Amino acid sequence: MRVSCTVNGERLVADDVWAGESLLYVLRERLGLPGSKNACEQGECGSCTVVMDGVTVCACLVAAGQAQDRDIQTVEGLAATGAIEGAGLHGPGQGAGLHPVQQAFVEAGAVQCGFCTPGLIVQAASLLRAVPEPSDAEIREALAGNLCRCTGYEKILDAVRLAAARQAGQARRPGRDAGQGPR
C-alpha cells in the first residue's frame, strides 16, 4: 500500500508498504529517518517517541496505515521548531541551531550511548511545551516511559532543568518572539 503523511513539515510518500509495518519501520527503513530508535518495538522503552498530531506516541505502536495524512514530527525535525538564537555550542559541528533540549542534553552529559536520547529529547521537548517550568516530580513523571540504561537518569534531569531555565530566560527577554530562532 501507499502511505503519505507530513513528516517534519514535508509531505512524504512511501510506496509498497506491507500492512504489517509500523510507522517506526516506515520512518527508519523507507523514509530515511532512522533517528527514532528501535530498542524494544513493543511500546515499553520510548526510544521511538515521535509527535503525531501534537501528541507524543511510540512510533513502533502506530501501524503504518494509521499514519496516513497525519502530521509527524521526529527528532530530526526538532531543531527547526525551537532553536535558540546565538546559543549554539562552540566549534564546528557543535550544534549551532540545536533545539534547547538537544543542546542541554549534550552539555549536561545526558548522552552516553545515546540510543534512548532521541526519544527522551522528543518527550522532554513536548513536556516543556506544555509545562515550561516543571518540578522534578513532573519531569520524572513525564519521562517515566523512556528507558535509559547508561545514565541512571541524573544528568537527564539536569538537562531538562537546564533547558527549562534557558527557555524561561529566553521567553522573558524583551522583544523576542519565543520559538522563532534562526534555522
Partner 1 sequence: MTSPPVSPPAAPPREVLPRGAPAGGVIGVSARRPDGVAKATGEFAYSSDLWMDGMLWGVTLRSPYPYARVRSVDIGPALATPGVHAVLTHQDVPGANRYGLEFADQPVLAEDMVRYQGEPVAVVAADHPEIARRAAARIAVGYDVLAPVTSARAAMADGAPRLHPGGNVVRHLKLRTGDPAARADLVLTAEYQVGMQDQAFLGPESGLAVPAEDGGVDLFVATQWLHADQRQICQALALPPERVRLTLAGVGGAFGGREDLSMHVHACLLARHTGRPVKMVYSREESFFGHVHRHPAALRYEHGVSADGRLVFVRAEVLFDGGAYASSTAAVVGNGGTMGFGPYVVPNAAMDCYGVYTNNPPCGAMRGFGAVQTGFACESQMDRCAAALGLDPVEFRVRNAMSEGSLVPTGQIIDSPAPVAELLRTVRDMPLPPDPGNAPDLRELPGGVSNTTHGEGVRRGVGYAAGYKNVGFSEGFDDYATARVRLEIAGGEPLVTVHTAAAEVGQGLVTVETQIARTELGCERVIVHPKDTGVGSGGSSSASRQTYVTGGAIKAACSRVRERVLALAAHRLGRIGAGLRLDGGMVVSAAGDPLISLAEVLSSEGIEETVQWRHRPTFPVDPETGQGFAHVQYAFAAHRAVVDVDTELGLVKVVALDCAQDVGKAINPQAVEGQIHGGSAQGLGLALMEEVQVTEGRIRNPSFTDYLIPTILDMPPMRLAVLEYPDPHAPYGLRGVGEPPTISSTPAIVAAIRAATGRPLTRIPVRPQDITGT
Site for partner 1 in 147-166 (CB under 8 A): 147-157
178 binds partner 1 (CB under 8 A): no
- Closest approach of partner 1 to the CB of residue 171, in Å: 22
41 binds partner 1 (CB under 8 A): yes
Nearer to partner 1, 13 or 171 (CB): 13
Give the Cα separation of 86 and 12 in Å (integer): 31
Among 5, 45, 57, 125, binds partner 1 (CB under 8 A): 45
Three-class HEC string of 31-99: CCCCCCCCCCCCCCCCCCEEEECCEEEEHHHCEHHHHCCCEEECHHHCHHHCCCCCCCCCCCCCCCCCC
Nearer to partner 1, 135 or 176 (CB): 135
The stretch among 51-59, 62-70, 138-146, 174-182 that binds partner 1 (CB under 8 A) is 138-146
Q: Provide the b/e sequence for 9-22 (b: ≥16 CB within 10 Å).
A: eeebebeebeeebb
Q: What residue has cell string 513536548?
A: 126
38 binds partner 1 (CB under 8 A): yes
Binding mask 77-116 for partner 1 (x = CB under 8 A): -xx---------xxxxxxx--x---xx-xxx-x-xxxxxx
